Structure 1
Amino acid sequence: MTGSTIFHALGLHMHQPPGNLRLLIEANPEEAEQIIRCYERPVRYAARYPDTARLHVGFSGVLLEQLLDPDIVDRYRHILDIPEMLDGYARAENIELIGMGHSHPIFPLIPQADWPEQLARARAAMLRAFGRTALGFWPPEMAFTMEMVPALVEAGYHYLVVDGVQVRPEDGITDAFRPYQVCHEGVCITLVPRDRDLSKAQEHGLDANWFQNDVRWRVGDSPRPHESRLVTTWSDGENGGWFRQTREGSGFFGYFFAPYMEQVRGGEYPITPVSLSAYLADNPPVAQAQVQTGAWSVGPTAGYDRAQWSGSERQRAAATAVSDLSARYWDLCERLSAPCPALEHARTLILEAQTSCFLFWGEAWLPHLYARTVPAAAQLDAAAATLRDAAPPALAEAVSPQTNPGAGVSTPAAGSAR
Structure 2
Amino acid sequence: MDRIFHAVVLNLHQPSGNLQHLFDHNKWEAKEILFSLDRIPRSLWQDSDIARVHLSLSGTLLETLADPGFQAAAYGTIDCGSFLWHLQNEQIFEILGTAYYHPVLPLIPAADREEQIKRWLGRGQHLFWRHHFNGFWPPEMGFSMELIPLLKRYGYKYVLIDSENIRPVDPMSWQELRYRPHLARYGEDEIIVIVRDRDLSNAQESGMDYGWFYREVQERTNGCAFPPLVTTCTDGDNGGWFRNTNPQANFWGSFYPELLAHARAGTGNIQPGFITDYLHQYGAHGYVEVETAAWNTGWHHGRGFVQWTGSQAQKDAIGRVELTSAAIHQTARELAAAKTPDHHPACSELENSLWHMLRAETSCNFFWGEDWVHKCHADLDTAWSYLHRVRQG
Please say if 1:61 is aligned against 2:59. Answer: yes
Match of 1:186 among 185, 188, 212: 188
Q: Mapping of 1:130-149 within 5 angstroms?
A: 130-132=128-130, 133-149=132-148
Task: Report the Cα distance in structure 1 between the residues aligned to 2:277 and 2:231, rounded to whole angstroms.
Answer: 14
Deviation at 1:231, TM superposition (A): 0.3
Query: Residue in 2 aligned with 1:121?
Result: 119
Query: Residue in 1 aligned with 2:228?
Result: 229
Query: Residue in 1 aligned with 2:280?
Result: 281
Task: Report the Cα distance in structure 2 between the residues aligned to 1:244 and 1:56, rounded to whole angstroms.
Answer: 18
Structure 1 counterpart SS, 2:256: helix
Deviation at 1:299, TM superposition (A): 2.6
Give deviations 1:116-167, integer Å, cap 9, x for gaps.
Answer: 1111111111122221242101110110000000001111111011001111
Query: Residue in 2 aligned with 1:368?
Result: 375
Query: Residue in 1 aligned with 2:268?
Result: 269
Deviation at 1:226, TM superposition (A): 2.8
Match of 2:354 among 347, 350, 375: 347
Task: Report the Cα distance in structure 1 between the residues aligned to 2:90 and 2:289, rounded to whole angstroms.
Answer: 34
Query: Residue in 2 aligned with 1:247?
Result: 246
Q: Which amino acid aligns with 1:245?
A: N
Q: Which runs of 5 or more residues in structure 2 are unaligned?
A: none
Task: Report the Cα distance in structure 1 between the residues aligned to 2:157 and 2:39, rounded to whole angstroms.
Answer: 27
Indicate the RMSD between aligned Cα atoms, in angstroms: 1.3
Q: Return the TM-score normalized by structure 2.
A: 0.94
Give deviations 1:20-66, integer Å, cap 9, x for gaps.
Answer: 11101001000000001111222122222111111001101111011
Percent of residue pairs identical: 36
Deviation at 1:92, TM superposition (A): 4.1
Task: Report the Cα distance in structure 1 between the residues aligned to 2:27 and 2:203, rounded to whole angstroms.
Answer: 28
Query: Residue in 2 aligned with 1:105?
Result: 103
Deviation at 1:99, TM superposition (A): 1.2
Query: Residue in 2 aligned with 1:311?
Result: 310
Task: Report the Cα distance in structure 2 between the residues aligned to 1:49 and 1:160, rounded to whole angstroms.
Answer: 27
Q: Which runs of 5 or more residues in structure 1 are unaligned?
A: 387-418
Q: Which amino acid aligns with 1:81?
A: D
Q: Which amino acid aligns with 1:169?
A: P
Please say if 1:209 is aligned against 2:185. Answer: no
Structure 1 counterpart SS, 2:145: coil
Q: Return the TM-score normalized by structure 1.
A: 0.89
Task: Report the Cα distance in structure 1 between the residues aligned to 2:252 and 2:203, rounded to whole angstroms.
Answer: 14
Matched-pair contact (CA < 8 Å) for 1:37–1:80: yes
Q: Which amino acid aligns with 1:375?
A: T
Query: Residue in 2 aligned with 1:157?
Result: 156
Q: What is the number of residues matched between the two proteins?
A: 381
Structure 1 counterpart SS, 2:111: helix
Query: Residue in 1 aligned with 2:88?
Result: 90
Task: Report the Cα distance in structure 2 between the residues aligned to 1:103 and 1:329, rounded to whole angstroms.
Answer: 18
Task: Report the Cα distance in structure 1 between the residues aligned to 2:149 and 2:209, rounded to whole angstroms.
Answer: 39
Give deviations 1:347-405, integer Å, cap 9, x for gaps.
Answer: 1101100100000000000111112110111111121223xxxxxxxxxxxxxxxxxxx
Larger Rg: 1
Please say if 1:48 is aligned against 2:83. Answer: no
Query: Residue in 1 aligned with 2:8?
Result: 10
Matched-pair contact (CA < 8 Å) for 2:349–2:389: no
